[in-house]
Amino acid sequence: MDDHSVITLLASITDPPEPASRVSIVAALRRGRRRQRLLQVGASALAVVAVAAVVTVPRILLSGNTGRSASPSSSATGPVRQPAMPASAPDTFNVLVPYAAFGWLPAGYSEANVPLSGGGLLNSGPTEVVRMAVTANGAMVRLSVYARAACTTGARTPDSCVRATTSGRAPDVNGRPAWWIFDGRGIAWEYAPGAWADVNIPAGRLPHLAARGGNAAARLNARPSAAERAATQTPSAGTRDLVLKIADAVKYAQHTPLAFDVKLASPLPAGWSLQEMGFHVVDGRLLADGLNVGPAADTSALSISATKPLGYGCNYVSGQSSYVTRYGVKWEYRVLDDHIAKNVEMLCSMQPIDGLDVNIYLDMAPEEAGAAPLPGSYQLGGAFGVYAGLHLLGLNPANWTAAPLG
Amino acid sequence: MRQSREAEYTEYVEARLPWLRRIAYRLTQDWQLADDLTQVAVTSLYTHWNRARDATSTDAYARTILVRAFIAERRSPWARRVQLGAGYPEYAAATADHDARLDVRAALAALPPRQRATVVLRYCYGLPIDQTARELGCSEGTVKSQTAKGLAALRRALATLEAWKV
């Protein structure tokens, strides 16, 4: 075959049938405008914008959440209506609907103040629900409610599941036996036969809130409230009264579901299910931080997060990254395949997609050297395969879903 | 001002999108990758729209952006490590000599990116050497050498494929 024949063949190539185009002119306009703005602003201004975003975005997201209907009543002295105590506790919780919630909080404390970057402060798991409320200056109240499966069946003390040392009997909580924990900074009580809960007021503060002293308004009025003073001083009768009052008002068997801004349409491998999930209070709704699914051997084998940009970018562990444009998005893509972290794929969007930063972590084998691949992990088609089956629901709460799978 | 600029841009992209996609397909041999490449190119075209609109040929300007985006993408470390495209054509050939055409597609897909872009622009789109050089951002001498190397590689690949059939 000579050059002429090759050229003739090249000229005769006809294109195969075209599939429907995924190219979006609207997306090009949007990204183009953004790029142009960034070019105009310049690199130095960008750095300022990034820093400002880190500080302000969480506050913008969280502002206006206090005092919403989903928040517990908040009063230092007012009477607290006692909630009904459950006759029995479930063996395991539905992770999509946090089982318990605060019914009352001291003034200034709110779940909506929990920073988006904190991670892991509010959790809904199969055996434990964790709620936390903080003040603008980082003082905390923490509530943990355990399912029966987390506790030793039949045990009559909180040691069976509460991870704290008891320091004597406390007054009953709504008629149920209770013990002081953390030297009186907390209280643990049996909210239903064989199932326990605890509330405590940690002595410290959330460092990133404490460091910048909360929001601007809080800095101007930086005098700590009576509740904050009680929380940060040596446990006193005041502290004990406070934790008892919070414990008395805890609500159980709640029906407020988590809202998800992502939905995974692809079927999960057999044996994989939803696992413990973090969440935040945004616009009065419980917004899940993402999706965690996995088999019993590795319950967090697949983690997907889609969050409003926090300004941190892709914050991966050290190692080789690749940068790629795929599905019209710039990604940082990392594949780890060694004897420690075997076959892990990580994908991080380098620009928001529908307003969300997307991170996907897919573990395809347990961390033990030589371990067999996780059953079904390869069915997902790697991190890009996961993304292909993902629907991003954007920033509008009206579009969020309580059913993140299927 | 911005509205009229965007209206012009949108009108152009709507009209020329199928054409840009086909070029992207010939470069990538994969419709998924072609769409990604086209998306990158039309986004970049937006930011350079004033220059593209005032260029002698807006088409040439848009194609240049597309081809250069393709070469840049294929140079990335990710592209060197990962092959995401489908390995086999998913369509039936329309004509009787489909074997030869499938072969030439396979051989084309195996060429290094710059050689592939040169051969596609020269022989699929009939561009002269000087225009190919402008679009690729290289000298005419480079176009000639890349063309010669590309054709030689295609010849070898096609001969090998032919030999397997005997």
A230 in the same domain as A88: yes
In this structure, the answer to whether residues A87 and A227 fall within a common structural domain is yes
> Are A222 and A91 in the same domain?
yes
Q: Chain B window 80-99: which residues touch A at a Cβ cutoff of 8 Å?
A: 81-82, 84, 89-91, 94-95
Q: Which of B43, B47, B78 sits opposite A323 (nearest CB)?
A: B78
In this prediction, residues B72-77 reach a mean pLDDT of 60
**Best of A5, A25, A336, A384 to mutate (most B CBs within 10 Å, chain B):** A25
Higher pLDDT: A214 or A281? It is A281
Residues A271 and A363 in one domain: yes
Boundary of a domain, candidates B44, B72, B87: B87
- Which residues in chain A are closer than 8 Å to B43, comparing Cβ atoms? 27-28, 31-32, 35
- Average pLDDT estimate for A387-405: 92
Question: For A271-284, what is the mean pLDDT?
Answer: 86
Which one has a higher pLDDT value, A275 or A47? A275
Q: Assess whether B110 and B45 both reside in one domain.
A: no
Are B73 and B144 part of one and the same domain? no
User: B87, B107, B130: which is the final residue of a domain?
Assistant: B87
Q: Looking at the structure, tell me whether residues A278 and A172 fall in a common domain.
A: no
* CA-closest candidate to residue B74, choices B84, B59, B60, B64: B84
Mean predicted confidence (pLDDT) in A223-252 = 74
| β-strand partners of A282 | A285
What's the confidence (pLDDT) of residue A184?
84
CB A359 within 8 A of CB A344: no
Answer yes or no: is pLDDT of B78 > 60: no
Is residue A69 scored above 60 in pLDDT? no
Residue A237 lies in a domain: yes
pLDDT of B10: 87
pLDDT greater than 90 at residue A257: yes
The answer to whether residues A237 and A361 belong to one domain is no
A19 and chain B: CB distance < 8 Å anywhere?
yes
Tell me how far apart the alpha carbons of residues A295 and A275 are, in angstroms, rounded to a whole number: 9
What six digits make up the tokens of A156?
Answer: 């009559």
Same domain as B82, residue B10: yes
Residues A102 and A143 in one domain: yes
CATH code at A359? Answer: 3.40.1000
Query: Which pLDDT score is estimated for A206?
Result: 66
Q: B98 and B160 share a domain?
A: yes
pLDDT for A47: 39
| Amino acid sitting at position A133 | A
Q: Are residues B5 and B66 in the same domain?
A: yes
Q: Which structural domain, as residue segments, surrounds residue B45?
A: 1-87
Contact with chain A for residue B11, Cβ under 8 A: no
Round to whole Å and give the CA distance between A148 and A140.
Answer: 26
Tell whether A315 is covered by a domain: yes
Residues B57 and B113 in one domain: no
Same domain, A197 and A219: yes
Considering the domain architecture, whether residues B32 and B5 belong to the same structural domain is answered as yes
In terms of domains, do B69 and B104 share one? no
Instruction: Look at A58-62, A77-81, A92-96 and tell me which has the smallest mean pLDDT.
Output: A58-62
**Over residues A33-41, mean pLDDT:** 64
Residue A103 has pLDDT above 90, yes or no: yes
Query: Which residue range forms the structural domain that includes residue A41?
Result: 24-62
CA-to-CA distance for A13 and B128, rounded, in angstroms?
Answer: 19
pLDDT of A298 over the 90 cut: no
Cβ distance A27 to B6 less than 8 Å, yes or no, reads no
Residue of A nearest to B36 (CA): A328
Number of domains in chain B: 2
What average pLDDT does the structure give for chain A? 76
Compare A302 and A74 and report the one with higher pLDDT: A302
pLDDT-derived band at A320 (thresholds 50, 70, 90) equals low
A242 and A101, same structural domain?
A: yes
How much is the pLDDT for A220? 35
A66's CB contacts (< 8 A; 6+ apart) are: A110, A112, A113
**pLDDT band with cut points at 50, 70 and 90 for residue A315:** low
Which has the minimum average pLDDT: A236-240, A315-319, B43-47, B130-134?
Answer: A315-319
Query: Residues of B numbered 98-137 whose beta carbons fall under 8 angstroms of chain A's beta carbons: which are they?
Result: 100-101, 104-105, 108, 119-120, 123-124, 126
More confident residue, A55 or B122: B122
- Identify which of A12, A35, A324 has the shortest CB distance to residue B101: A12
Residues A346 and A361 sit within 8 Å (Cβ to Cβ): yes
pLDDT at A342 over 60: no
Other beta carbons within 10 angstroms of residue B56's beta carbon come to 7
Q: Could A33 and B105 be called an inter-chain contact, meaning their C-beta atoms sit closer than 8 Å?
A: no
**Residue A12 in domain:** no
Separation of alpha carbons B166 and B162, rounded Å: 7
* Predicted pLDDT of residue A18: 75
- Closest chain A C-alpha to B151 CA, distance in angstroms: 6
Q: Is B47 on the interface with A (CB under 8 A)?
A: yes
pLDDT at position A369 over 60: no
Q: What is the pLDDT of residue A158?
A: 79
SS3 A264: strand
Of A220, A249, A278, which one is at a domain's C-terminal end?
A: A249
Question: In the predicted model, is pLDDT for residue A384 greater than 50?
Answer: yes
Give B136 to chain A, closest Cα distance, Å. 19
Q: Could you tell me the pLDDT band of residue A52, with boundaries at 50, 70 and 90?
A: very low
B160-163: long-range pairs with CB below 8 Å, 24+:
B161/B103, B161/B106, B161/B107, B162/A1, B162/B103
Output the domain CATH number for residue B161.
1.10.10.10
Q: In chain A, which residues have their Cβ closer than 8 Å to the Cβ of B104? A: 6, 9-10, 13
Q: Is B149 on the interface with A (CB under 8 A)?
A: no
pLDDT of residue A371: 63
Q: What is the pLDDT of residue A219?
A: 38
Question: Does A401 or A116 have the greater pLDDT score?
Answer: A401
**Mean pLDDT across chain B, nearest whole number?**
77
Rounded Cα distance, A353 and A389, in Å: 15
Q: How far is B43 from chain A (nearest CA, A)?
A: 4
Average confidence (pLDDT) over A309-313: 68
Q: Is residue A267 domain-shared with residue A394, that is, in the same domain?
A: yes
Residue B159 touches partner A, C-beta closer than 8 Å: yes
In angstroms, rounded to a whole number, what is the distance separating the alpha carbons of residues A209 and A118?
10
pLDDT at position A311 over 80: no
CATH number for the domain including B23?
A: 1.10.1740
Q: Which of A70-79, A104-113, A165-174, B16-25 has the lowest mean pLDDT?
A: A70-79
Say if A69 falls within a structural domain: no
Render pLDDT for B90-120 as a digit per residue (tens, 0 to 9). Answer: 444 444 455 666 677 778 888 888 888 888 8
**Are A6 and B154 within 8 A, CB to CB?**
yes
Say yes or no: B72 and B106 in one domain: no
Closest by CA position to A108, among listed A22, A254, A269, A222: A222
- pLDDT tens sequence across A180-220: 988 888 999 999 988 999 999 887 776 555 544 444 344 33
Domain count of the fold of chain A: 3
* pLDDT surpassing 50 at residue A44: no
Q: Which of B87, B107, B137 is the last residue of a domain?
A: B87
Q: Are residues B120 and B141 in the same domain?
A: yes
Question: So what's the ipTM on this one?
Answer: 0.72
- Name the residue type at position A129: V
Q: What is the pLDDT of residue A165?
A: 75
Distance (Å) from the C-alpha of residue A13 to the closest C-alpha of chain B? 6
Residues A350, A359 contacting (CB under 8 angstroms): no
A388 has a pLDDT exceeding 80: yes
Quick one: B49 and B120 in the same domain?
Answer: no
pLDDT at A101 (0 to 100): 96
A261-288: average pLDDT: 89
Of A186, A219, A249, the residue at which a domain comes to its end is: A249
pLDDT of residue A332: 84
A322-326 sheet: strands from edge to edge? A273-274, A290-294, A302-307, A357-363, A344-349, A329-336, A322-326
* pLDDT given at position A77: 47
What are B128-132's contacts with CB under 8 Å, separation 24+? Answer: B131/B60
Burial class (CB in 10 A: 0-12, 13-18, 19+), A30: middle
Average pLDDT over residues A95-106: 95
**Are B46 and B81 found together in one domain?**
yes
DSSP of B27-91: HHS-HHHHHHHHHHHHHHHHHTHHHHHHSS-HHHHHHHHHHHHHHHHHHSHHHHH---S-SS--S
* Closest Cα in chain A, distance from residue B93 (Å): 7
Does residue A100 share a domain with residue A212? Answer: yes
| Closest chain B residue by Cα to residue A40 | B47
